[in-house]
Structure 1
Amino acid sequence: MSSNGIFQHTACNKSHHSYEEKLQSSSEHLSPGLMTDLREEGKEQVMDNETPEKKCVEEVLEGVSLAPAHCLWTTEANGSVRLRIDELCPQEPITVHQMFMTSVQKYGNLFALATKRNDKWEKITFSEYYHLSRMAAKSFLKLGLERFHSVAILGFNSEEWFLSAVGAVFAGGLMTGIYATNSPEACLYVASDSRANVIVVENQKQLDKILQIKDNLTHLKAIVQYSGPLQKKMPNLYSWEEFMGFGVDISDKSLDDIIDSQKANQCCVLIYTSGTTGMPKGVMLSHDNITWTARHASQAGDMQPAEVKQETIVSYLPLSHIAGQIYDLWTGIQWGELVYFAQPDALKGSLITTLREASPSSHMGVPRVWEKIMEKIKEEISHSAYMKKKLVTWAMSVILDANQRSTKDEEKSFVFTLADSLVMEKLRAELGFSRCQKFFSGAAPIGSDTMQFFLGLNIWIYEVYGMSESAGPHFMSGPKACKLLSCGKVVPGCRCKLANIDADGIGEVCFWGRNVFMGYLNMEDKTMEALGEDGWLRSGDLAKMDEEGFLYITGRIKELIITAGGENIPPLPIEQAVKREIPIISNAMLIGDKRKFLSILLTLKCVTNPETMEPTDNLSLEAVEYCQQLGSQARNVSDIIGGRDKVVNHAIQEGIDRVNAKATSNAQRIQKWTILRKEFSGSGGELGPTMKLRRPIVLKMYQSEIETFYRE
């Protein structure tokens, strides 16, 4: 047994020896180290010994009502788990309702949610938010929501999305988000697997998907549409207004009885993985996973409770993904934040308008969002008058140099202060960041060029690293702990270790803490694969850690390229190096698994159709300027592909050569490359909902181009 483990797989088997039974029944929630020590002593009377940790656990659990549990994991929707309470995270476990009630008592009169209707921001308080969530819960019960069945929500972020989510939990159901970009078939999988009794859809477009599959959903009882008029009356289809009135005859006592029956170690949220490496998995998160993470992860990011200063954020990231959900929804309740909802076309251009109006105090983005903002700023700078362009370039150079040489809070020079106040304050205000103090990036690694660009604007982007299975962040950078290109340090109260460390100090990142999930719904083999015999969550990510505890991701085990010669090559560092050396490249995907040499697929930066979000043939302004600097007149992707523009193709080869010159071995050199006809995109299928590269799909889509590399 690992010295860091708490229970082996046999801990879930009821046929233990008497000592093991007594050990587990007497101390359900001991930490990994203490549990190991107790086993090694092998004495039944050890449970009578006083240890600071045991005393801490007993004090926490005194009077706390938890559902009976025999294991750290479960795969059943109505199952319960042992909580990982120890001296690092001894806080009393609470349910989502208890968290919300505490916030209502503290922040009841503060505004909680802001929605723009008819060009005017309408706000509701935390007291109103709580009351409306109870109304939604009663209506779900009236529609027949059963305990531990799901309410599936399909649509863009909104007040109704939040009320449906909280209401589903209050009513004893499982809140389940479905990506708005999902196909009808993908919606069918999630709704069926989660046994959805009710599906809440945004509009007619999303409703049409459900109508195509509803006959195959055996548990479905009702559909609710929260935006736009119902175009056709159908049985069991309701508008939001109709829905919110259904629960009037459900008594408060009936709802309270259900709320009171909920335990912190039971499931309340399902997060479905994006399915980039197989069928989506339903990540089961307990009340304790949600409430503990909402409190402690946000503390690591220096989010302030409303009694100190009310934080303001803009909600626009997919709420079906853990990053958006924990940051917008649950942390918002925990700390009394004011959440502004962006418009559905946020990523088509309206996000900046919302940011200017909301003036958030913190902002979360995935790397592709930050890249798009960067490209927009570069485009506007290039269109500026000569003197303004020179002034901005000078200011960015001064600020970047100063920030790279010091930490965020170190005192800066007069020239730095002048550049920031004279130039950058105005630029940040134009972006809607005049009041923003904290900027976060998560869901995928962010490029160093993007980090450095924003550093030149005096915007420090703090990386957040975690998984759906860790209820979001397990490592965080923040104002008090930040190193460029690092994911930060482990969230206080959580543990981490690197497994199978190689000669370079690189190993698999493993997680332990109150944020670690309950298990995958109905998937025992996958659950055991993720948690192993010792209960540590295996991330599948490779990383190294410096002497101060800062984590640096180097790749992903499943993405490792093992060449025909047997060399293991993580693709991410090479791909990022190519993008750094060749500014015209938007995406790079390394190829070479079981092959004799490496090759790479490249896409060029291009203009995106604002309506369809599909990449066009037109090169971006930055790409056009790059070509012009080389002496090329190319303005379209089609002008360059297939070796048509010798100048640009030569420059790309030179960039590849520079990357190869830094390779640690011949096997890590890129031998062949090609430019694809279009940029990777979500609509094209190459990128997932959070703009993460879907490597298996790209391999299938561009199989013919790849095979061309390796023909004799």
Structure 2
Amino acid sequence: MSAIQFHRTANGFTGYDKEMNQSVRYATASETGLDGPDQVLATDVDTTCESNGKVRIKLDKNEYNSCIPVSIPGAFTKTVNLYPDHIALVSSLGDDGKRTMYTYREYEQTVKTVAKAFLELGLERHYAVCLLGFNSPEWFIADLAAIYAGGLAAGIYTTNSPEACQYCAEHSKANIIVVEDKKQLGKILQIKKDLPDLKAIIQYSGIPTEKDVLSWNDLLEIGKRASDSKLLSVLKTIGANECCTLVYTSGTVGKPKAVMLSHDNLLHGARSLFTTMELKTKTETVVSYLPLSHIAAQVCDIIASVLAASTVYFADKNALRGSLVETLLVAQPTVLLAVPRVWEKIYEKMQEKAHSNGAIKTWIARWAKSQGLYYHMNKMNGVDYKNWSYIFAKWLIFDKIKAALGLQRCRLFITAAAPLNINIKKYFLSLDIPIIEAYGMSECGGAHTIGDYKEYRLYGVGIPLSGVYTKLDNIDEHGEGEVCMGGRHVFMGYLNAPEKTAEATDKNGWLHSGDLGKIDSNGILSITGRIKELIITSGGENVAPLNIEHAILSELPALSNTMLIGDKRKYLTVLVTLKSNVNSETGEPLDTLNPDVLKWAKSIGSNAETVTDVISSRDPFIYEEIDKAIKRANAHAISNAQKVQKFEILPHDFSIPTGELGPTLKLRRNIVTNMYADLIEKMYQ
């Protein structure tokens, strides 16, 4: 079967069977001017693995792809000229209980000051500034300053060990490392002697006491004393088609790869989001709290916010441990991007609250949710009719819930980075909070598809963003194929890794995601599995674990995570975890069962209160219910080889601190397999 390509146009969604490069031309220097930073530098290649490399920018007849390339400094300056006094950044609460605000004029001026300081400290062209810390105005400013100064901005995950930090800093040839506090500084001081290119370390929170470590104020003073001439000279050499940002993959298998993204990659992806989500200039408010070392937060919080002249509020570093709502109440965001774990935590807190309600409140809440779900399900079926019951439920319940969460102004609720459980999506939908899914990867500058908030669907990850292309490759008899992406948002290459780059992109410029997907008649993409995670049983059956894992989770809400086992085995088995409480300080899973699970356990006759109770006694009530859930999921299997035969409960839930999840909350299957090798073997004895 031939590959089918889909993309969005100004007149709607179309599909056709052509290679995207048949009507391509390349942007030239004469179109953009000869002086940087908004120039296109001469080159004849489409990929590069060198930090000083340039790539061609493909333009086509699609209105979104025909726009002339610009640089990030160029785009930023345009916004500043239009909205100089609009509030750009609002910090988290300081020690004095106040928030620091930056207008767009102050924002860019500080970026230029820090860029001048970086140059004074010895930042070389195409060398990196590594950033290690929680979200803050200083993180944004240092990131953009590195780009203005002709360097590469490179975020490092705050959860990284000193050795992992060393790899990123050494690999990117970091001249400068910017850290948040004493804790992160300690990691860099341990490895400082092994970083030959390092020239300066800056700590942006608190006053450093270590020798040769600069404070944020020290950095600003250096920049204020420096002349503008060096920065202006560097800006003239910058091109929109050269690398400005490195995004390190989470490295679940082998060393992390450094994804090279150009000015045009990032801006094209951000423009596509801007257009598709119909963002309004000088109107949007967002909250920054997801890790900025991840592409999603960088594009949404930094780049798209600059294009839209949004106001960005910063949460405190305990946001993912429960304090996010406090910032939401202050910021009143119009767009909320969250990973599934955040939506799950909000859901769990709401469930706890619901359990404390009396009988009357419980009945009213159930009635309201039934009206909300009824309205939205009808809307999905083409019946957009707001009956009085829905309107009353919205006034009585839904608006109050949104107000309590700080979401009464929010019109876009987005989940990304991993699949969100369908039952949780239905729960929020019943509360008039339709969560749409976004799908993409670092290599395509963030998002590639996103759900349509006007024509909501519970299933799938949406349709392509404006001006990007999707095709399925090697489609099988079930209509599944590898998801491939095309467009100006596709990365330049992996730094210093030509073989890996060649594996990821083909000769026509398509980025091969490694994900399996299906596209329905409406053009909606669904991710059905991952090629590298395909299980091949000893009988030769190919099994995509994702669908089976989700099917089991959907059958039993008491389960938190599942991981399918069966590669080169005679039959499939599964490891499961029960929902448990979490240490609010460290994020580690506790032994005590989640309140919802406790209530469920008692309802089926179990007296277990901890995961240890369940496993040590092989609690017959809980084990039997899990077995029943697996059998219900098996009933939908397409063959006997796709049915799960056995399971085991793990001693704790998956998390970043315990190692099963990577920094972007993706399951590290090889780690789990090694951790529980004995338990897995037990299921095959």
TM-score, scaled relative to structure 1: 0.91
8 Å CA contact retained: 1:481, 1:489:
no
Alignment of 1:79 onto 2:56: no
Structure 1, residues 268-292: CA drift from partner, whole Å, max 9, x if none?
A: 0000000112210000000101112
**Any idea what SS the aligned residue of 1:656 has?**
helix
Among 309, 312, 333, the alignment partner of 2:306 is 333
- For 1:507, the aligned partner's letter is G
Structure 1, residues 413-472: CA drift from partner, whole Å, max 9, x if none?
A: 110111111011111111111111111111111111111111011101111111100000
Partner of 1:677: 651
Determine the C-alpha separation between the residues in 1 that align with 2:21 and 2:664.
39
8 Å CA contact retained: 1:57, 1:86:
no
Partner of 1:365: 338
Partner of 1:12: none
Partner of 1:119: 97
The answer to which of 113-122 and 132-141 deviates more is 113-122
Partner of 2:553: 579
Alignment of 1:99 onto 2:69: no
Partner of 2:510: 536
Among 468, 476, 483, the alignment partner of 1:494 is 468
- 1:200 and 1:63, CA in 2 relative to 1: closer, same or farther beyond 3 A? closer
1:60 shift after superposition = 9.1
1:105 shift after superposition = 1.1
- 1:677 and 1:33, CA in 2 relative to 1: closer, same or farther beyond 3 A? closer
**Any idea what SS the aligned residue of 2:514 has?**
strand
Mark the runs of 5 or more structure 1 residues left unpaired by the alignment. 6-31, 38-52
Among 264, 287, 291, the alignment partner of 1:314 is 287
Between the two structures, name the one with larger relative contact order (CA 8 Å, sep ≥ 6): 2
1:481 shift after superposition = 4.6
8 Å CA contact retained: 1:57, 1:87:
no
Partner of 1:198: 176
**Any idea what SS the aligned residue of 1:576 has?**
helix
Partner of 1:189: 167
Partner of 1:61: 31
Alignment of 1:445 onto 2:419: yes
Alignment of 1:134 onto 2:108: no
- For 2:203, the aligned partner's letter is Q
1:639 shift after superposition = 1.3
8 Å CA contact retained: 1:462, 1:477:
yes
User: Aligned ranges for residues 149-548 of structure 1 at < 5 Å?
Assistant: 149-230=127-208, 232-235=209-212, 237-306=213-282, 310-407=283-380, 410-548=384-522
Determine the C-alpha separation between the residues in 1 that align with 2:451 and 2:22.
32
8 Å CA contact retained: 2:115, 2:148:
yes
Determine the C-alpha separation between the residues in 1 that align with 2:124 and 2:394.
56
Determine the C-alpha separation between the residues in 2 that align with 1:35 and 1:158.
41
- For 1:438, the aligned partner's letter is L
1:484 shift after superposition = 1.6
Determine the C-alpha separation between the residues in 1 that align with 2:652 and 2:319.
23
User: Aligned ranges for residues 24-63 of structure 1 at < 5 Å?
Assistant: 33=19, 36=22, 61=31, 63=33
1:385 shift after superposition = 2.1
8 Å CA contact retained: 2:329, 2:404:
yes
Determine the C-alpha separation between the residues in 2 that align with 1:486 and 1:351.
27
**Any idea what SS the aligned residue of 2:606 has?**
coil
1:349 shift after superposition = 1.2
Determine the C-alpha separation between the residues in 1 that align with 2:383 and 2:155.
39
Determine the C-alpha separation between the residues in 2 that align with 1:227 and 1:478.
40
1:479 shift after superposition = 2.3
Determine the C-alpha separation between the residues in 1 that align with 2:543 and 2:40.
46
Alignment of 1:591 onto 2:568: no
1:250 shift after superposition = 2.5
- 1:34 and 1:367, CA in 2 relative to 1: closer, same or farther beyond 3 A? closer
Determine the C-alpha separation between the residues in 1 that align with 2:54 and 2:391.
55
Partner of 2:9: none
- For 1:205, the aligned partner's letter is K
- 1:389 and 1:496, CA in 2 relative to 1: closer, same or farther beyond 3 A? same
**Any idea what SS the aligned residue of 1:514 has?**
coil
Partner of 2:15: none
Alignment of 1:637 onto 2:614: no
Determine the C-alpha separation between the residues in 1 that align with 2:564 and 2:19.
41
Structure 1, residues 41-67: CA drift from partner, whole Å, max 9, x if none?
A: xxxxxxxxxxxx76x968993647311
1:707 shift after superposition = 1.3
8 Å CA contact retained: 1:642, 1:675:
no
Identity of aligned residues (%): 45
Determine the C-alpha separation between the residues in 2 that align with 1:542 and 1:180.
31
Structure 1, residues 591-633: CA drift from partner, whole Å, max 9, x if none?
A: 0011110000010000001112111110000110111111222
**Any idea what SS the aligned residue of 2:210 has?**
coil
Partner of 2:674: 700
- 1:136 and 1:4, CA in 2 relative to 1: closer, same or farther beyond 3 A? farther
**Any idea what SS the aligned residue of 1:152 has?**
strand
Determine the C-alpha separation between the residues in 2 that align with 1:94 and 1:436.
30
- 1:385 and 1:595, CA in 2 relative to 1: closer, same or farther beyond 3 A? same
1:253 shift after superposition = 2.5
1:351 shift after superposition = 0.5
- What stretches of structure 1 move > 6 A for 4+ residues in a row? 2-5, 56-60
Q: How many residues align?
A: 664
**Any idea what SS the aligned residue of 2:517 has?**
strand
1:388 shift after superposition = 1.3
8 Å CA contact retained: 1:4, 1:534:
no
- 1:488 and 1:222, CA in 2 relative to 1: closer, same or farther beyond 3 A? same
Partner of 1:47: none
- 1:59 and 1:268, CA in 2 relative to 1: closer, same or farther beyond 3 A? closer
Determine the C-alpha separation between the residues in 2 that align with 1:418 and 1:688.
43
- For 2:288, the aligned partner's letter is S
1:80 shift after superposition = 0.2
**Any idea what SS the aligned residue of 2:99 has?**
strand
Structure 1, residues 643-692: CA drift from partner, whole Å, max 9, x if none?
A: 53111111111111111122111111111100011111010010112211
**Any idea what SS the aligned residue of 1:70 has?**
coil
8 Å CA contact retained: 2:27, 2:68:
no
Partner of 1:23: none
Structure 1, residues 203-235: CA drift from partner, whole Å, max 9, x if none?
A: 0000011111111111101110011221x3312
Structure 1, residues 231-290: CA drift from partner, whole Å, max 9, x if none?
A: x3312x111111111123432232112112100000000000001122100000001011
1:565 shift after superposition = 0.5
Determine the C-alpha separation between the residues in 1 that align with 2:379 and 2:29.
44
The answer to which of 383-392 and 139-148 deviates more is 383-392
1:4 shift after superposition = 10
8 Å CA contact retained: 1:583, 1:626:
no
8 Å CA contact retained: 2:3, 2:474:
no
- For 1:362, the aligned partner's letter is V
Determine the C-alpha separation between the residues in 1 that align with 2:345 and 2:108.
36
- 1:481 and 1:257, CA in 2 relative to 1: closer, same or farther beyond 3 A? farther
Mark the runs of 5 or more structure 2 residues left unpaired by the alignment. 6-17
- 1:481 and 1:137, CA in 2 relative to 1: closer, same or farther beyond 3 A? farther
Determine the C-alpha separation between the residues in 1 that align with 2:184 and 2:303.
25
**Any idea what SS the aligned residue of 1:379 has?**
helix
